[in-house]
């Protein structure tokens, strides 16, 4: 894992910890809620599945609801453009590199 990936993962974990800290501060019995957290995601596109993947990595129960279960009509599956790897801004280059590495090394 490269330096940029480690920084992104650290940033994501910090964001998750901030969310958990906020929930602990406002919920009357936070341990009950956090131990039984379940998330439903409507839409199994790239954003929905990405969100589900990262929530599941945090041991959160996730259910994805997608009406096109075979992805026959989804724009992502029908795209013939593939992964774009030519960008000019630093952020887009890092995001592209992360995406390519993620797809090559994804573990379920």
Chain mean pLDDT for the chain: 75
Lowest mean pLDDT among 19-28, 41-50, 55-64, 77-86: 77-86
CA distance 79 to 60: 31
Report the pLDDT value the prediction gives residue 5, as an integer from 0 to 100.
79
What confidence category does residue 74 fall into, taking pLDDT thresholds of 50, 70 and 90?
low
CA distance 90 to 52: 27
């Amino acid at each position: 894992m490269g330096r940029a990936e480690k920084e992104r993962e650290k940033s994501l974990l910090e964001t998750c910890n901030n969310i958990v800290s906020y929930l602990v501060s406002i919920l009357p019995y936070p341990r009950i809620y956090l131990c039984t957290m379940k998330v439903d995601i409507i839409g199994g596109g790239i954003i929905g599945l990405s969100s589900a993947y990262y929530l599941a990595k945090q041991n959160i129960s996730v259910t994805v609801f997608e009406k096109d279960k075979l992805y026959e009509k989804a724009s992502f599956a029908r795209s013939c453009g593939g992964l774009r790897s030519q960008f000019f801004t630093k952020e887009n280059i890092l995001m592209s590199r992360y995406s390519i590495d993620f797809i090559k090394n994804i573990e379920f």
